[in-house]
């Protein structure tokens, strides 16, 4: 199984990624991301944690039904109820997979209070149960990198004998280092009976900033499945970033002769889409997908680039789907030019979508001299959705040195227009107070952040907000040339997401509230 040089890419943006505090995605957004992952050549999509909530279950089922080439996987703890629910969701896929896990390290064994023998028996029973439902079963010993070596070998052998087809070795707390990561997989393959009949996978978290290096090292050790997320989204410091491992394997094929099926030209598009729907903006200096990843500031670098781009670039921007330099559009540009530019940026839009974006493009071009690629991306990725219960209809703000600042606002709430006038300590505060007056809520603002999409005083501002209500967190984003309008839309966007989260969370089964203790 580990002889081939093909490495499977297992994307868990919709499961582990969505576990990042605040990275809630709506049902339709999850379907859209799954479709993009499938199109870019991801081998296995972990679409969610079906027992976690009715919303998760529905999303996994729908993604399974719509899947084209990818295997669709769902997560389940080590109990029959979780596994049955997972199977109910993934069984619609052309290629379904059940992923079941249990924490095997001393710290994790202590939580369900199982002895080593009891846990071994639980692993045997649950993997057998999963395998009776589905031919394709992945098993993970959570916190494998802090599990005693002998016990790890013992439980991996049990899982293989019970029918697991993929053994995933998670570095749950981002504790391992590259040399150790390679060595662990190598030794497991050499020592566990039956190891040659299964695929070994690597799942690394980034707590010490070594996730990508650890995943690549695990491949050197014999792993043939890398688990990762777009933009490295995930719990705490996140997971291995899909774009990093895939590009590293492509660019350094000379020393890492492994291949993936990923169409790397689709990377930038999906990265931006995930940033928007999750509300987690990509840091400017993030490898591959950051805004500065292909930017050259110093004179020496710019001079070198003009003479030969290889002086300071190890890959071409086009390889990851960044269009080369191209002229901005303006208010005289027509529908055909817009369509061509969007196609160049990787968007193949239906006529009705193009019409909608064309109207917004014209509106933006009236306010802004030149509309750059990033402006267009921001337009395409506007978060407004037909499912939203709250919508901003109009906003007029009075601000300046003579207070109080006032916001006159009209919102549509569940289909009905409502309006108010509110004051505040500054235009943004007045605007947020108007939203609170029209839609009273207990959610607290945790973060408010403004950044410019492009340069110049007429640049669009992207505003991100993070809100918290009863332990649930949601983020919202919006872009507009008017910073206060962008702020209002971002705030309303976060509220809409909180409402989705409220509906999704059946008591006891909220994904953020699922306790591993229930295993
Ligand atoms: O990090 C981890 O251990 C996980 C498991 C559920 C595979 O995400
Ligand atoms: Zn994880």
Q: Which residue has 């070795």 as its token pair?
A: 169
Ligand 1 centroid from CA 448, angstroms: 31
Low-confidence ranges of the chain (pLDDT < 70): 1-3, 296-307, 312, 323-327, 382-386, 504-519
pLDDT of residue 374: 75
Which residues have C-beta atoms less than 6 Å from ligand 1?
Answer: 16, 101, 140, 142, 170, 172, 203, 205
User: Does the predicted TM-score (pTM) go above 0.85?
Assistant: no
The ligand with the least distance to the CA atom of 516 is 1
Atom of ligand 1 nearest to the CA of 173: 1
Ligand 2 centroid from CA 508, angstroms: 21
Which residue in 506, 264, 460, 238 sits closest to 365, CA to CA?
460
> Ligand 1 atom 5: the closest Cα is on which residue?
142
Phi, psi of 368 (to 5 degrees): -135, 130
The ligand with the least distance to the CA atom of 142 is 1
Which residue in 356, 324, 322, 325 sits closest to 339, CA to CA?
356
163-218: pLDDT as tens digits: 999 999 999 999 999 999 999 999 999 999 999 999 999 999 999 999 999 999 99
pLDDT of residue 291: 82
> Ligand 1 atom 1: the closest Cα is on which residue?
172
Q: Which of 105, 138, 172 has the most ligand 1 atoms within 8 A of CB, as the residue to mutate?
A: 172
pLDDT of residue 100: 98
Angle formed at CA 352 by CA 350 and CA 356, multiple of 5 degrees: 115
Atom of ligand 1 nearest to the CA of 19: 8
pLDDT of residue 247: 98
36-54: pLDDT as tens digits: 999 999 999 999 999 999 9
Ligand 2 centroid from CA 5, angstroms: 25
List of E strands, 346-429? 390-398, 405-413, 416-424
Phi, psi of 223 (to 5 degrees): -65, 145
> Ligand 1 atom 8: the closest Cα is on which residue?
16
10 Å Cβ neighbour count for 285? Answer: 10
pLDDT of residue 516: 47
pLDDT of residue 519: 45
How far CA 199 is from CA of 99, 137, 138, in Å, comes to: 13, 11, 9
Q: Which of 14, 101, 156, 167 has the most ligand 1 atoms within 8 A of CB, as the residue to mutate?
A: 101
> Ligand 1 atom 2: the closest Cα is on which residue?
172
Q: How far apart are CA 513 and CA 254, in angstroms?
A: 45
Ligand 1 centroid from CA 101, angstroms: 8
């Amino acid at each position: 199984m580990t002889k081939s040089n093909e490495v499977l890419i297992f994307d868990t943006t919709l499961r582990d990624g969505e576990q990042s505090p605040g990275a809630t995605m709506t049902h339709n957004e999850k379907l859209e991301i799954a479709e993009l992952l499938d199109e870019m050549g991801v081998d296995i999509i972990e679409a969610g944690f079906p027992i976690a909530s009715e919303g998760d279950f529905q999303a996994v089922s729908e993604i399974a039904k719509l899947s084209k080439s990818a295997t669709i996987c769902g997560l389940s703890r080590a109990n029959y109820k979780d596994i049955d629910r997972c199977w109910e969701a993934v069984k619609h896929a052309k290629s379904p997979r059940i992923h079941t896990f249990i924490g095997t390290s001393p710290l994790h064994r202590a939580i369900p209070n199982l002895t080593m023998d009891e846990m071994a028996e639980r692993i045997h029973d649950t993997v057998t149960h999963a395998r009776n439902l589905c031919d394709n079963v992945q098993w993970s010993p959570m916190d494998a990198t802090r599990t005693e070596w002998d016990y790890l070998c013992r439980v991996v052998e049990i899982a293989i004998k019970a029918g697991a087809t993929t053994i995933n070795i998670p570095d749950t707390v981002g504790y391992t280092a590259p040399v150790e990561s390679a060595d662990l997989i190598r030794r497991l393959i050499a020592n566990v009976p039956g190891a040659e009949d299964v695929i070994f996978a690597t799942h690394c978290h980034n707590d010490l900033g070594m996730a990508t290096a650890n995943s690549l090292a695990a491949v050197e050790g014999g792993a043939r499945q890398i688990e990762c997320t777009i933009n490295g989204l995930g719990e705490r410091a996140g997971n291995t970033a899909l774009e990093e491992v895939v590009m590293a394997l492509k660019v350094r094929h000379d020393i890492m002769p492994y291949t993936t099926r990923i169409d790397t030209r689709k990377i930038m598009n999906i990265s931006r889409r995930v940033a928007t729907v999750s509300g987690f903006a990509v840091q400017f200096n993030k490898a591959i997908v950051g805004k500065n990843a292909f930017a050259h500031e110093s004179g020496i670098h710019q001079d070198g680039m003009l003479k030969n781009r290889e002086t300071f670039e190890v890959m071409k921007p086009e390889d990851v789907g960044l269009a080369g330099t191209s002229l901005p559009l303006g208010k005289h540009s027509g529908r055909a030019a817009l369509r061509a530019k969007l196609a160049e940026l990787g968007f193949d839009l239906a006529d009705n979508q193009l019409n909608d974006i064309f109207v917004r493009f014209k509106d933006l071009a009236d306010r802004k001299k030149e509309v750059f690629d990033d402006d267009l991306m921001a337009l395409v990725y506007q978060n407004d959705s037909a499912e939203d219960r709250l919508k901003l209809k109009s906003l007029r703000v009075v601000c300046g040195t003579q207070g109080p600042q006032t916001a006159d606002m009209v919102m549509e709430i569940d289909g009905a227009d409502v309006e108010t006038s509110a004051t505040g300590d500054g235009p943004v505060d007045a605007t947020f107070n108007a939203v609170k007056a029209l839609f009273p809520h207990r959610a607290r603002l945790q973060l408010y952040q403004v950044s410019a999409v492009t340069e110049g005083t007429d640049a669009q501002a992207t505003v991100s907000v993070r809100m918290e209500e009863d332990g649930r967190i949601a983020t919202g984003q919006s872009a507009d040339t008017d910073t206060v309008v962008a702020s209002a839309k971002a705030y309303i966007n976060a509220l809409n997401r909180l409402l989705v989260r409220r509906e999704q969370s059946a008591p006891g089964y909220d994904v953020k509230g699922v306790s591993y203790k229930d295993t």
